[in-house]
Structure 1
Amino acid sequence: MSFLDRLFGRPEKRAAVSAEPVLPDLWFPRGPGNPENLATVLACVNAISSGIASLDAYVYNTAGNTRTEAPNHPVSRLIRQPNRTQTWPDLMEWALASVLLTGNAVMVVEYDGAGRPTALTPIPWQCVQVDRLKSGRLRYTVMAWQGVTRTLLDNEVFHLRDRSDDGLVGRSRLSRARDVFTGAAALQDYSLNMWQNQVVPSGIVSSETGALSNDQAKDLKQQLQERAGGTNNARRVIVLPNGLKWQAVGISPEDAEALESRKFSVQELCRIYGVPPPIVQDYSNNTFTNAAQASLWFAQNTLVPWVRKIEAEFKRSVFGASNPYELVIDMSSLMRGDYATRWQSYGVAIQNKILTVNEIREQEGYNPMQEDAA
């Protein structure tokens, strides 16, 4: 819909559908089967979403050969308050978490009568249906969201996708590596059940006086479960009557291997999201040197691709391809390296007249020097 169409409230004609609608990719169940029940998935999603949400964003005018900040642009106001209930970090955190878990994050771009963007309204992916019109444009049907069904075109929707197979919708990484996720979930369930029922693998009760009757065996089993079963009774002393003998049984090699496999599943899930294990507190193969580089690697190889996708999608859906304005997410705070290296690079920048002292002080959060500010 053009600026004049929005200004005069003209209805937009939409062509008939030429393809079947695409339904959201929600292959994983809610509740106990939710991917975020796995600590590694939750940690990876939190690391990426909160990392990008913490970065400052600016609107720049790129007309001509210069780039100047535009703090009074309507989108700059959106960055300060994107909607009534969320701040910019809240919105970015929601969007990244949605796209990392479902492959898609959809927000409706709300406009005023003059065609200026006034809000970004997040829509749960399970409420969205996407199909392609004969004209080639995408149509978004928001189904029964807050009691209302809306139909929108692609220029009215901010749609952040993970890698897509058809160009319409993104596909979640967990659905691409479903066996990795289900294997990790199964190992977690197995380990949980093993510890909750630790009396079962911990030992065997035998009788030196003869076989026990069914009633005696049943009564003994009940008493052991009540007095020694479960985590609340772990390590308690057991007194066995009538010549009964307790024989301890250690963890079998298979069980030990299953527990060790859980460590490997952490690395597998980190690979899916491109997150270095130290970022999610896995220090099993950590040294001081690679820990110092993990954050920089994380910023360059994990966060930068998502930042570029967000900036490009803002250009497409909010600004428009021919608009000279663009959104820039400032990653300098993550890319500057450690303290000593940063100040060494600043010295080179001053010596070669690339930056001034006050520009460096601004980047480091200091007020400008008075003699330079005059």
Structure 2
Amino acid sequence: MLRALFGRKTSSLAIDTSEKLAQALGSGYETNSGQRVTTSSAMQQLVVFNCVRVLAESVGMLPCKLLKQTNRNRFPATSHRLFPVLTMAPNGFMTAQEFWELLIVCLCLRGNFFAYKVKALGNVVELLPINPDLVTPKLKDDWTVEYTVNFKSGTKVLTQDEIWHVRLFTLDGLNGLNPIAYARQALGLGQAMDAHAAKLFTNGAVASGVLSTKEKLTDEAFARLKTQFNGEHMGVANAYKPMILEMGLDWKPISLSAQDTQFIESKKLTEAQICGLFRVPPHLVASMEKMTLNNIEHMGMSFVNYSLVPLITRIENRISVGLLSDKDRLTHYAKFNAGALMRGDLKGRYESYGRGIQWGILSPNDCRDLEDYNPREGGDIYLTPMNMTTKPEAGDDADKTAP
């Protein structure tokens, strides 16, 4: 009896993540819609999941190489210890693609990405990602940054030499802004709409029509009718089943009301706002309502220029600042190959190669190297159009023959 009165209710749910802990403690981001927005609840919205996935997989598919610049020549720095970390495997349990995808996911959902730097002889040889919820950055009075990390073995304070920090745009220069926290009102409204839509389809018969009769039903008949109707005609699984009505019962369907129509429009507006939050064109998350053959190509170009390029530029700069030494930083830099986005467009690639060869920008072997083909003999020649050729010696000859 005492246990029933004063004991706590036990739960079989293990609290093994920060999101479950936030839910158990009643924390998270409160919204005016009454929904509590967390990272997990936001990802349960299909449009959020699609936007984050598109950004993460798009960056993950781009090859990232470490290059070395000598005068005007640039070569892959294959002898540098950081080259295989960026190109093949940042650590022993992740590929480069998986690592870059995780980095983008952390930026989209938390605004910050942290990784522990494993060094050998002063060079970074491994990057171990850390859950952003476990790290607290702090700017000290001497303008150095320290990171308090809550490891399972205990809390440790690490320096910039030990932590690689990539962040979105900031207000204080240190902590990246969390998109989920700042857009919690729109995300909370989307969660409320999803919950409303789920209840609407669960009790579809109630919203789609009414049962009416002129006779008075007894309590027993009413209870039997309610049980039978709920079990056989409510819910999506029981849609379109024939009804057997008695005692003068009549089914009167109700068409979609103006309120329901406004709900659909509001849901579309919320989804468009979420796409704007992540700067993902709607057609990439299967929203083709306003897409045409004339604008879909420009929307794809806009996605590369204004969605992917800011992210990969941010990562490239943090590689130079956080992973290279002061000496190597003067001659080495990281570069994502955005041209890999054209891998599926064979016609576009070949037309681009043709123009590059025609104007002397590329040689045939340069193009073959981009396609992973072996070089051919005589393929290192750069052409120059005849109408663009200059001959300084011709001018000298003309001066000699002039009277």
TM-score (norm 1): 0.85
Who is 1:305 aligned against? 310
Count of residues in Structure 1 that have an aligned counterpart in Structure 2: 347
| Post-superposition CA distance 1:262-294 (Å, at most 9, x none) | 222221111111111111121111112222333
State yes or no: 1:221 paired with 2:223: no
Q: Which has the larger radius of gyration?
A: 2
Who is 2:193 aligned against? 187
Q: CA deviation at 1:303?
A: 0.4
Which of 328, 346, 352 in structure 1 is aligned with 2:359? 352
State the distance in 1 between where 2:191 and 2:89 align: 38
Unaligned 5+ runs, structure 1 = 1-24
Which of 268, 276, 281 in structure 1 is aligned with 2:281? 276
Which of 49, 54, 58 in structure 1 is aligned with 2:61? 54
State the distance in 1 between where 2:70 and 2:348 align: 35
The letter for the 1-side match of 2:187 is F
State the distance in 1 between where 2:39 and 2:136 align: 26
Which of 122, 133, 156 in structure 1 is aligned with 2:140? 133
Q: CA deviation at 1:86?
A: 0.3
CA distance 1:109–1:256, change in 2 (3 Å)? same
State yes or no: 1:100 paired with 2:108: yes
CA distance 1:31–1:135, change in 2 (3 Å)? closer
CA distance 1:215–1:163, change in 2 (3 Å)? farther
State the distance in 2 between where 1:238 and 1:347 align: 68
Kept after mapping to 2: 8 A contact 1:299/1:335: no
State yes or no: 1:122 paired with 2:129: yes
State the distance in 2 between where 1:191 and 1:352 align: 58
SS in 2 for 1:372: coil
Q: CA deviation at 1:148?
A: 4.2
| Post-superposition CA distance 1:178-208 (Å, at most 9, x none) | 2211112211111111011102112212221
Q: How does 1:1-20 map to 2 (within 5 A)?
A: none
Q: CA deviation at 1:66?
A: 3.4
Q: CA deviation at 1:344?
A: 4.2
Which of 76, 82, 100 in structure 1 is aligned with 2:83? 76
State the distance in 2 between where 1:282 and 1:320 align: 45
State the distance in 1 between where 2:45 and 2:176 align: 22
Kept after mapping to 1: 8 A contact 2:135/2:149: yes
Kept after mapping to 1: 8 A contact 2:111/2:176: yes
Q: How does 1:294-373 map to 2 (within 5 A)?
A: 294-322=299-327, 323-324=329-330, 325-334=332-341, 339-340=346-347, 342-372=349-379
Who is 2:49 aligned against? 42
State the distance in 2 between where 1:199 and 1:272 align: 36
Who is 1:196 aligned against? 202
State the distance in 1 between where 2:132 and 2:66 align: 27
Who is 1:257 aligned against? 262
SS in 1 for 2:43: helix
State the distance in 1 between where 2:150 and 2:211 align: 60
Kept after mapping to 2: 8 A contact 1:279/1:294: no
State the distance in 1 between where 2:260 and 2:201 align: 11
Kept after mapping to 2: 8 A contact 1:208/1:245: no
Q: CA deviation at 1:119?
A: 0.8
Q: Which moved more, 1:31-40 or 1:251-260?
A: 31-40
State the distance in 1 between where 2:38 and 2:141 align: 39
SS in 1 for 2:323: helix
Q: CA RMSD in A?
A: 2.5
State the distance in 1 between where 2:106 and 2:127 align: 15
Q: Which moved more, 1:240-249 or 1:77-86?
A: 240-249
Q: CA deviation at 1:174?
A: 2.7
Who is 1:288 aligned against? 293
| Post-superposition CA distance 1:122-148 (Å, at most 9, x none) | 00111111112121111111102x434
CA distance 1:152–1:127, change in 2 (3 Å)? same
| Post-superposition CA distance 1:210-255 (Å, at most 9, x none) | x334443333222211111122211111112222222222222111
State the distance in 2 between where 1:292 and 1:37 align: 29
Kept after mapping to 2: 8 A contact 1:26/1:102: no
The letter for the 1-side match of 2:104 is L
The letter for the 2-side match of 1:268 is Q
| Post-superposition CA distance 1:149-183 (Å, at most 9, x none) | 33211232111111212222111223222221111
CA distance 1:33–1:222, change in 2 (3 Å)? farther
SS in 2 for 1:362: helix
Q: Which moved more, 1:289-298 or 1:127-136?
A: 289-298
CA distance 1:54–1:30, change in 2 (3 Å)? same
Which of 239, 243, 246 in structure 1 is aligned with 2:244? 239
TM-score (norm 2): 0.79
Kept after mapping to 2: 8 A contact 1:107/1:123: yes
State the distance in 2 between where 1:143 and 1:32 align: 19
The letter for the 2-side match of 1:253 is A
Which of 164, 170, 175 in structure 2 is aligned with 1:169? 175
